[in-house]
């Protein structure tokens, strides 16, 4: 393989070790960071994500609270649970696992979370702060990708980054964070007329679409850095990304695998945001 593997498992592990040390520091002062996760319904994939988030938070020494609600829960009942957590001093991060059942308005739910505990970085107040470069909770997946690039000493400044996908949780904030680090950013999406025309000019390609192996070597410039956010199943039911890894790895200078690339970083940055939240509360109480 020409392309260097960007090992999200290993980088995530290192960052979680650093988080653990800081959690221990807070605990020594009698203060335990707490993360609450609310899950609605019984979607299997969501339950797996939530279980991993809980397990990781416990591993770094945080208090972890899981609130399971049935798919039939009303919006008002869910909002009441969030309100309780907003006022719970032992909880510094609140996450509502998405997607929610259709009868619940996701926007209302996100707005109900205290912006100071919005460790997913989805609250419009935090999104606005991110846009204007003020300190805030950064959305975990793009934040994790920035860490992958930083920890592999991948230059960003002056580079051309192409982001494929413009969702509010991945694509859009990803482009913003790269822009803040002085990349020249191009967004592509489902209506982009000639995708390869843009991606073949990119030094850094971030793919966040959700279509198995849609990006191959014809889309990539020799030596590009390729970050694959996608989580899909291939024709054999095996987990795979949006990038055809085997076809791109020889051409890329560095590439993330799926699994083991972006995924572990998303959870890690959730823990980081929870830690930052707890540290901010503690700093204000001193």
Residues lying near ligand NDP in the complex (CB under 6 A): 141, 164-167, 169-171, 188-192, 195, 208-211, 229-232, 262-263, 266
Contact 71, 40 (CB under 8 A): yes
Q: Which is nearer to ligand NDP, 32 or 192 (CB)?
A: 192
Give residue for tokens 């807070």.
26
Would residue 246 show up in a list of annotated catalytic residues for this protein? no
Q: Of 54, 116, 118, 120, which is the active-site residue?
A: 120
Is 31 or 187 the residue whose CB approaches ligand NDP more closely?
A: 187
Of the listed 53, 117, 213, 251, which one is catalytic?
A: 53
Q: Return the SS3 of 186.
A: strand
- The reply to whether 97 belongs to the active site is yes
Tell me whether residue 73 or residue 95 sits nearer to ligand NDP (CB atom): 95
Q: What's the min distance (Å) between Cβ of 261 and ligand NDP? A: 7
The Cα–Cα gap between 14 and 28 comes to 21
Shortest spacing between CB 173 and ligand NDP, in angstroms? 10
User: What per-residue string of b and e applies to 263-286 under the rule 16 or more CB within 10 Å gives b?
Assistant: bbbbbbbbbbbbbbbbbebbeeee
Report d(CA 171, CA 179) in Å as an integer.
Answer: 12
Instruction: Identify which of 214, 213, 148 has the alpha carbon closest to the alpha carbon of residue 181.
Output: 148
Nearest approach in angstroms of CB 237 to ligand NDP is: 15
- 203 or 242, CB closer to ligand NDP? 242
Catalytic residue among 7, 54, 97, 249: 97
Tokens read off for 196: 């390869």
Q: Is 4 a catalytic residue?
A: no
Q: Strands 225-228 and 254-255: what pairing?
A: parallel
Residue 229's φ and ψ, nearest 5 degrees, are -90, -25
Residue whose pair of structure tokens reads 């020494």 in the numeric block: 61
Of 67 and 196, nearer to ligand NDP (C-beta) is 196
**Residues forming a β-bridge with 63:** 34
Minimum Å gap between C-beta 4 and ligand NDP is 20
Supply the residues annotated as catalytic. Answer: 53, 97, 120
């Amino acid at each position: 393989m020409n392309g260097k593997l960007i090992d999200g498992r290993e980088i995530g592990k290192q960052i979680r070790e650093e988080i653990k040390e800081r959690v221990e520091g807070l605990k020594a002062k009698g203060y335990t960071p707490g993360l609450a996760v609310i899950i609605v319904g019984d979607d299997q994939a969501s339950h797996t994500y939530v279980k991993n988030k809980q397990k990781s938070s416990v591993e770094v020494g945080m208090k972890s609270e899981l609130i399971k609600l049935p798919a039939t829960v009303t919006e008002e009942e869910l909002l009441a649970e969030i309100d309780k957590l907003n006022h719970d001093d032992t909880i510094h991060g609140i996450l509502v696992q998405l997607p929610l059942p259709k009868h619940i308005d996701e926007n209302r739910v996100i707005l109900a979370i205290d912006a100071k505990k919005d460790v997913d970085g989805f609250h419009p107040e935090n999104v606005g702060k991110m846009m204007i470069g003020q300190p805030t909770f950064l959305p975990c997946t793009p934040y994790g990708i920035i860490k992958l690039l930083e920890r592999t000493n991948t230059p960003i400044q002056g580079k051309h980054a192409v982001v494929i996908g413009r969702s509010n949780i991945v694509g859009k904030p990803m482009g913003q964070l790269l822009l803040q680090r002085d990349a020249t950013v191009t967004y592509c999406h489902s209506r982009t007329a000639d995708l390869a025309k843009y991606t073949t000019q990119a030094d850094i390609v971030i793919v966040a679409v959700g279509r198995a192996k849609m990006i191959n070597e014809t889309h990539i410039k020799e030596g590009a850095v390729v970050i694959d956010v996608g989580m899909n199943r291939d024709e054999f039911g095996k987990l795979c990304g949006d990038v055809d890894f085997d076809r791109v790895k020889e051409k890329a200078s560095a590439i993330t695998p799926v699994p083991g690339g972006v995924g572990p970083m998303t959870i890690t940055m959730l823990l980081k945001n929870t830690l930052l939240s707890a540290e901010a509360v503690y700093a204000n109480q001193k």
